[in-house]
Structure 1
Amino acid sequence: MEEQSMKVSKIIQENIAYINEVLPVKESFDIIERDMIIGGRESCFFFIDGFMKDEVMSKVMDTLFKLTPEQMPKTSTELSRTMISYVEIDTFSEFDGIIKNILSGVACLFVDGYESCIAIDCRTYPARSVDEPAQDKSLRGSRDGFVETIVFNTALIRRRIRDPHLTMKMMEIGKSSRTDVTLCYMTDRVNQDLLNLLIQKFEQMREHDLKMNQQTLAELLFKRKWYNPFPKFKYTERPDTAAACIMEGKIVILVDNSPSVMILPTSIFDIIEEANDYYFPTLTGIYLKISRSIITIMTVFLTPLFLLFMQNPEWIPDVFDFVLVRNTINIPLYFQLLLLELAIDGLRLAALNTPSMLSTPLSVIAGIVMGEFSVQSGWFNSEVMLYMAFVAVANYTQPNFELGYALKFMRLLLLTLTALFNWIGFAVGCIIIVCSVCFNRTVSGRSYLNIRLN
């Protein structure tokens, strides 16, 4: 008989035998089977070691041990209502829900003579403190951030939105992983078509396991085209940003074990926003948005334009004659720019794996070697180093990591086309970039440039 249709038996030994058949209780040290006598009846607890609040369980068991055979109710439901003084309690008559709860950390109690199991949800998950995210900081905003525990994350949102329309719809994805996924939205503001589409997609994912957590979910939600690198989702680790998006009518997706949330629908303008835009006065916020947008555009077009003008020096006005490369060019400018692009990525990867105590001195050494010595050796020209240094630093003005690499790929495409076909290649590259943004579609099917919520 399949697990879904298996019912709890009145004979406790049959229930214990079935649990031992389905779960590796004898082989796994962390799956605990606790046999006891409650009210003169054989009883058994099943739970996962490390997920249990020991103090709560001790009080619950102390209450149960004091029961006499005369005090034992006729049903497990009556026992849970009258004898167990704890808040989160439920009863299950089928093993499908029981197995799921045991593996989730809920303690399940079987009592001989009862046709259902009592689930006592006194679990606790290992979690770090809700510190401010390292990559998404705000000068004047709150200093808390999402963590890997989904219940803590929903509480951080509930703390900011005390509205009865705020809904947290929990769903389970994956036959083996059984990952908890929550849709957070305002029922009076959300786009119902998008909400129904997401629920439908989630229901079709039940056989898929979220192997890489949030990234797997994103790939299942939207089959992206490999040739368009622009991100389809906005991610944030800030509860205040998530709450603001929910109030605007958007949907926030939380995945258990992930410290960031996905925001839908989104556009290119949403992705380049950050929390500081809202914590400052209107004029300051507008200035920050405009300056960030200009710098973002410059990171794409600065080096290709430099290469284009170096290929056509007669186009440069006399007043800008100083931008011309005066020193000897030993390596073509295109290959210099390409080598520096790869070198910057190499330094980023090295910084991720460098111990924190060594990161500062190694950064200084890398800066000296990549800067002055590389120019003196003849590998690079100083003008190329200057413009690539600006691009490397300016890339961090926008917080989205995926968008940064999407812009990088567009810059490399533009550089290659310019080097091969001069101004015609530059014009074709600009058209490709504009088309990549304009014809990009999000999960809702709407344009990347203009998202309507309702």
Structure 2
Amino acid sequence: MKNVQQKLSTSLEENQKYFRRILRTDKNFDIISRTTMVADRKAVYYFVDGFLKESIVEKLLEFFYSVTPEDLPEDSEELSRDAMPYVEVELLEDCEQITTQILSGVMCLFIDGYSRCFAMDCRTYPMRSVEEPDKDKVLRGPRDGFVETIVSNTALIRRRIRNPKLSMEMKNVGSTSHTDVVLCYMEDRVDSGFLQQIEKRLEQIKTDALAMNQESLAECLYPHKWYNPFPKFKYTERPDTAAAEILDGKIVLLTDNSPAVMILPVSVFDIMEEADDFYFPPVTGTYLRVTRFVIALLTLLLTPTWLLFLQNPQWIPPQFAFIKISGDVYVPLFAQLLILEFAIDGLKLAAINTPGMLTTPLSVIAGLVVGEFAVQSGWFNAETMLYMAFVAIANYTQASYELGYALKFMRILLLILTAIFGLAGYAAGLVITFLSLLLNRTVSGESYLYPLIPFDGKQFCRRIFRKRIRFDINLKE
């Protein structure tokens, strides 16, 4: 559809012809137009079936039926301000903007003789209940989560930050989809320079539609260095996490039709933080955080290091002789590890696409068949299955899918280089992994490893150790 810049006419008949052609009300059964009378003037209103609160619409129509010619002012603004019995009413005169509002679910009323229409936001979107997200579960804390409706998501944040400094700016992205994007930040804590940069990027986005919601938006905001797998954004479906990041000076982007919000800018330490770190006492929170860092390091280094030692058995100390392969090796260990890396992802995809009622029995069958008979058949050794099982389970300690797969790609690279070049390849893989982190930049252009590089002792301790919250208590007699 080609957008035509056109203003409304005072003639209702001309406006009806235009929107009948643009909205194709004769073909689209869900776009409804109803003709009515407001006082002694003919009127028509447009809306999308399924987006309206019927009880509110009935009350509005009851009001319009009761309006007399003497009560109807000549100025549309006066009617909207003094006589319209609804809170969210906006006067629009640009036809393209009106079209977008109608397709977004806003009811637009046109009255003959007025050059502006009355856009009444009495919509309600179909949505699921506000429940705890499956991925971002916590042992302690609130059990609500974001949903696919952007207004509900902003309300969940407002509920936690009752401060006038909290700003939520609505943007519109996509020439066809017209997707709503909300820019959320604390005015007195955000980096103003970075905020202006993000606003400029949002305004300059030239795309047809955000087909994949926040992922499409992320690629539009940061299109460079696609080959670096480490994530540039942090995603969360928890309102408490989003509110905490906003209070910490971060920017949160909410995209309509998506239950996940984007947090930026973030370093690798920000991405590895979880809500459980703060819902427990400092000692427990620190233990959980340190454990997560150690396990992330093990998932990266365990299998490549084991392969390196098996290639050089003379390096294995006598007390660690148990890591050697006890049985016969029919398939090279490198091939076993590489096959299992892909097989684990295959099992993940199968579990995602398996109906819920069959997930448990099929998982048991897959574990028995793949685990037991794969070893007995000679394809895999028991030690290989053990270490890869640990890596597969340990990957779930990371809430970020993107970070988990970044570590997986680096691990596969380490395996390949170690298998081909031995110790030199192992060292080269470590260097490449470190450089991928070091040369990576946040969306704001800062170091991805801050506060480690450049080193900031106070901030580094804050990232590693969970400290008590400071309270400023003023006692007045």
Aligned to 2:430: 430
Q: What secondary structure, in the 3-state scheme, does the structure 2 residue paired with 1:209 have?
A: coil
- Listed one character per residue, the Cα deviations across residues 243-289 of structure 1 (whole Å, up to 9, x for unaligned) are 00000000000000010000001010111111100100111111111
User: Which sits farther off after the overlay, 12-21 or 304-313?
Assistant: 12-21
Distance 1:328 1:117 in 2: 80
Aligned to 2:471: none
Change in CA separation of 1:366 and 1:207 when aligned onto 2, cut-off 3 Å? closer
Q: CA deviation at 1:97?
A: 2.3
Q: What secondary structure, in the 3-state scheme, does the structure 2 residue paired with 1:285 have?
A: helix
Q: Unaligned stretches of 5+ in structure 1?
A: none
Distance 2:46 2:227 in 1: 50
| Matching of residue 109 in structure 1 with residue 112 in structure 2 | no
Distance 1:414 1:319 in 2: 26
| Matching of residue 295 in structure 1 with residue 295 in structure 2 | yes
The TM-score, its normalising length taken from structure 2, stands at 0.93
Q: Which runs of 4+ in 1 moved over 4 A?
A: 2-5
Give, as a single letter, the amino acid of the residue that structure 1 aligns with 2:138. S
Distance 2:69 2:227 in 1: 71
Aligned to 1:87: 87
Aligned to 1:439: 439
Give, as a single letter, the amino acid of the residue that structure 2 aligns with 1:239. P
Matches within 5 A, 1:136-215: 136-215=136-215
User: Which sits farther off after the overlay, 410-419 or 321-330?
Assistant: 321-330
Aligned to 1:311: 311
User: Is contact 1:4–1:94 with CA below 8 Å preserved after alignment?
Assistant: no
Distance 2:170 2:253 in 1: 10
Aligned to 2:228: 228
The TM-score, its normalising length taken from structure 1, stands at 0.97
Aligned to 1:280: 280
User: Is contact 1:168–1:182 with CA below 8 Å preserved after alignment?
Assistant: yes
Aligned to 1:249: 249
- Listed one character per residue, the Cα deviations across residues 54-113 of structure 1 (whole Å, up to 9, x for unaligned) are 110101111111122222211222222333211111112222321121111111111111
Aligned to 1:78: 78
- Listed one character per residue, the Cα deviations across residues 127-159 of structure 1 (whole Å, up to 9, x for unaligned) are 111100001001111000000000000000000
Aligned to 1:368: 368
Q: CA deviation at 1:316?
A: 0.6
Change in CA separation of 1:216 and 1:311 when aligned onto 2, cut-off 3 Å? same
User: Which sits farther off after the overlay, 435-444 or 233-242?
Assistant: 435-444
Q: CA deviation at 1:16?
A: 0.8
Number of aligned positions between the proteins: 452
Change in CA separation of 1:64 and 1:18 when aligned onto 2, cut-off 3 Å? same
- Listed one character per residue, the Cα deviations across residues 181-217 of structure 1 (whole Å, up to 9, x for unaligned) are 0110001000111101100101101554212211111
Give, as a single letter, the amino acid of the residue that structure 1 aligns with 2:166. L
Distance 1:165 1:332 in 2: 61
Distance 1:6 1:232 in 2: 41
Distance 2:133 2:238 in 1: 7
Aligned to 1:34: 34
Q: What secondary structure, in the 3-state scheme, does the structure 2 residue paired with 1:91 have?
A: strand
| Matching of residue 21 in structure 1 with residue 45 in structure 2 | no
Q: What secondary structure, in the 3-state scheme, does the structure 1 residue paired with 2:122 have?
A: coil
Give, as a single letter, the amino acid of the residue that structure 2 aligns with 1:6. Q
User: Is contact 1:300–1:411 with CA below 8 Å preserved after alignment?
Assistant: yes
Q: What secondary structure, in the 3-state scheme, does the structure 1 residue paired with 2:119 have?
A: strand
- Listed one character per residue, the Cα deviations across residues 29-50 of structure 1 (whole Å, up to 9, x for unaligned) are 1111100111111111111111
Distance 2:55 2:315 in 1: 78
Distance 1:59 1:152 in 2: 24
Q: CA deviation at 1:3?
A: 5.7
Give, as a single letter, the amino acid of the residue that structure 1 aligns with 2:258. S
Distance 1:55 1:65 in 2: 16
Q: What secondary structure, in the 3-state scheme, does the structure 2 residue paired with 1:171 have?
A: strand
Q: What secondary structure, in the 3-state scheme, does the structure 2 residue paired with 1:418 have?
A: helix
User: Is contact 1:172–1:206 with CA below 8 Å preserved after alignment?
Assistant: no
Distance 1:265 1:364 in 2: 41
Q: What secondary structure, in the 3-state scheme, does the structure 2 residue paired with 1:279 have?
A: coil
Distance 2:245 2:232 in 1: 16
Distance 1:3 1:293 in 2: 52
Q: CA deviation at 1:115?
A: 1.7
Q: CA deviation at 1:8?
A: 1.8
Distance 1:207 1:135 in 2: 30
% identical aligned pairs: 57
- Tell me how large the CA RMSD over aligned residues is: 1.5
Q: CA deviation at 1:342?
A: 1.2
Give, as a single letter, the amino acid of the residue that structure 2 aligns with 1:102. I
- Listed one character per residue, the Cα deviations across residues 274-324 of structure 1 (whole Å, up to 9, x for unaligned) are 110010011111111111100110001000011000000000111111111
Give, as a single letter, the amino acid of the residue that structure 2 aligns with 1:336. Q
Q: CA deviation at 1:5?
A: 4.3
Distance 1:121 1:100 in 2: 13
Give, as a single letter, the amino acid of the residue that structure 1 aligns with 2:399. P
Aligned to 1:324: 324
Distance 1:348 1:5 in 2: 49
Q: What secondary structure, in the 3-state scheme, does the structure 1 residue paired with 2:278 have?
A: helix
Aligned to 1:134: 134
Distance 2:224 2:53 in 1: 43
Change in CA separation of 1:11 and 1:411 when aligned onto 2, cut-off 3 Å? same
Distance 1:339 1:141 in 2: 40
User: Is contact 1:3–1:95 with CA below 8 Å preserved after alignment?
Assistant: no
Aligned to 2:54: 54
